[in-house]
Amino acid sequence: MTTTSAPTTTPAPETASERAFDRFRVPGGFALGAVLLLAVAPLALSDFRLALLAKYLCWAMVAVGVSLAWGRGGLLVLGQGVFFGLGGYAMAMHLKLADAADTGVPGALPDFMQLYGTGEALPWWWAPFANPVFALAATVLLPMAVAALLGFFVFRRRVRSAYFAILSQALAAALAIWLVGQQATTGGTNGLTDFQGFFGYDLDDPANQRTVYFIIAVSLLLLMAAARQLFVSRYGELLVAVRNSEERVRFLGYNPANVKLVAYVVAAGMAGLAGALFVPAVGIISPALIGVVPSIGFVIGAAVGGRGSLVGAVLGAIAVAWAQSTLSDAFPAAWTYLQGLLFVLAVGFLPGGLASLGAVVRRNRSRTRTGTRSGEAA
């Protein structure tokens, strides 16, 4: 169908100093981000604030995937909550089983199952998650497998892009409803919570919580580096080409379905990892965190910050999450209006997000200076 408008690209550097700046921009920015996340934040923030930041960083990891699939690939992924949830539940199930095993009672069930469950044996699909290697692998591979399955069938038949968005959203709704319905085996609305240990470490210990923060921060940096490499690779070029003109890419001999599938699956894996790390950091995973509304929330952050820009998407996700938790407590009603308005303005009038603000201002200024009226900005 139609393409999403291309995010504004930075203009080519003109002077030697600008070229030099451009060469160091990416590694320099990455190093700055690493220093901020790994040194400044842990030193400057209290345990409580650091735990909050850890939560935001998990959402930012999802935004990295959104930036890839939506920003570069034009796939409006409205169901990232599904993959976040699959990763989160896989991790949570393992932690629950490990906690139950720690009680020393042979064959002990996770606490909530004793409460709601039929009191019988562990469901068969829980059993493999007792194995830490299986559980860790599942946090990433399970979301990727689900994404591959849905993506394969949807992209293969060239279902229109709007249909894909709706189907991915429906998937989020279905998973959330299914989880709520299976209270005996998934904890229902309450989700899985109240974890004691994390691979042998006590989660109540603030020092261990800090370690979890470091794991999350490093994971985010690694994901960003990996995504950046994907963006500048041949595959990244192809993905943008598919977004801008799928038919032309098909005529050139590529199969756009595969290109889109890879982006969707990788984004799902990133969301799965984010969900898995969210569980020890925040201590809960529940249907309310993965349904339709939070799934759209994952896209919002990226949209406000700038879907086409990796850093923009990540900062946008962190900023929106921060604003949400700070303002929604103080002014719940005002925050909802602000959130809606922010979204309308960002997506409607600044499609490149805040990351493109500088470029837009520069363009307008140069236009008024030279007095040209042609080339109306899209």
Partner 1 sequence: MTVILNQSFTGISIGAVLLLIALGLTLTFGQMGVINMAHGEFIMAGAYTTYVLQESISSAGVSLLVALPVAFLVAGAMGALLEWLLIRRLYTRPLDTLLVTWGVSLMLQQLARDIFGAPNVQTRAPDILTGNIAVADGISLANSRLFILGLALLSVLALTLVLRFTPLGRRIRAVVQNRDLAEVSGIATGTVDRMTFFIGSGLAGVAGVAITLVGPIGPTTGTNYIVDAFLVVVVGGIGQLKGSVITAFVLGVLQSVLEYSTTVSVAKVIVLVAIVAFLQWRPQGLYTLRTRSLA
The amino acid at residue 353 is G
Least Å from the CB of residue 84 to partner 1: 18
* Whole-angstrom distance, CA of residue 341 vs CA of residue 92: 35
Contacts 24+ apart (CB under 8 A), 162-167: 162/1, 162/76, 164/75, 164/76, 165/76, 165/77, 165/78, 166/78, 167/79
Single-letter residue type at 184: A
* Rg (alpha carbons) of the chain, rounded to whole number: 22
CA dist 76 and 69 (Å) reads: 7
For partner 1, the closer of residues 282 and 285 by Cβ is 285
In whole angstroms, the minimum distance from the beta carbon of 241 to partner 1 comes to 15
Nearer to partner 1, 41 or 347 (CB): 347
Q: Is the Cβ of residue 151 or residue 272 nearer to partner 1 in the bound state? A: 151
DSSP H helices in 233-351: 234-244, 246-251, 256-282, 292-305, 310-330, 332-349
CB of 124 to partner 1, least distance (A): 17
Task: Give me the least distance between CB of 332 and partner 1, in Å please.
Answer: 9
Q: Which CB atom, from 278 or from 298, has the smaller least distance to partner 1?
A: 298
The tokens for 16 are 């030697």
Closer of 25 and 158 to partner 1 (Cβ): 158
**Residue among 1 and 105 whose Cβ is closer to partner 1:** 1
The residue among 14 and 376 lying less far from partner 1, judged by its C-beta, is: 376
Handedness of CA 95, 99, 104, 105 (dihedral sign): negative
Least distance between partner 1 and beta carbon 167 (Å): 7
Query: Which residues contribute to the site for partner 1 (CB under 8 A)?
Result: 1-2, 4-5, 74, 76, 78, 150, 153-154, 156-163, 165-167, 169-171, 173-175, 177-182, 246-247, 292, 296, 299-300, 303, 333, 336-337, 339-344, 347-348, 351, 378
Residues 6+ apart with CB under 8 A from 313: 63, 64, 66, 67, 71, 301, 302, 305, 306, 307, 353, 355
Of 71, 75, 247, 73, the residue nearest 154 (C-alpha): 75
Supply the angle between the helices 234-244 and 256-282 in degrees, to the nearest 10: 110
Q: Between residues 49 and 248, which has the closer beta carbon with respect to partner 1?
A: 248
Q: Least distance from C-beta 310 to partner 1, angstroms?
A: 19
Taking the complex as a whole, the smallest distance from the CB of residue 299 to partner 1 amounts, in Å, to 7
Nearer to partner 1, 94 or 243 (CB): 243
218 in Cβ contact with 30 (< 8 Å): no
Q: Which is nearer to partner 1, 11 or 340 (CB)?
A: 340
Residue 193: helix, strand or coil by DSSP? strand
* Tally of CB atoms within 10 A around 271: 37
Report in angstroms how near the CB of residue 4 gets to partner 1 at its nearest: 6
Cβ 219 to partner 1, closest distance in Å? 27
Tell me the closest approach of the beta carbon of residue 307 to partner 1, in angstroms: 10
Rounded to whole angstroms, the Cα distance separating 353 from 350 reads 5
The torsion angles phi and psi of 308, rounded to 5 degrees, stand at -80, -15
Extract the tokens encoding 330: 């103080």
CA count, 13 A, side-chain hemisphere, 260: 29
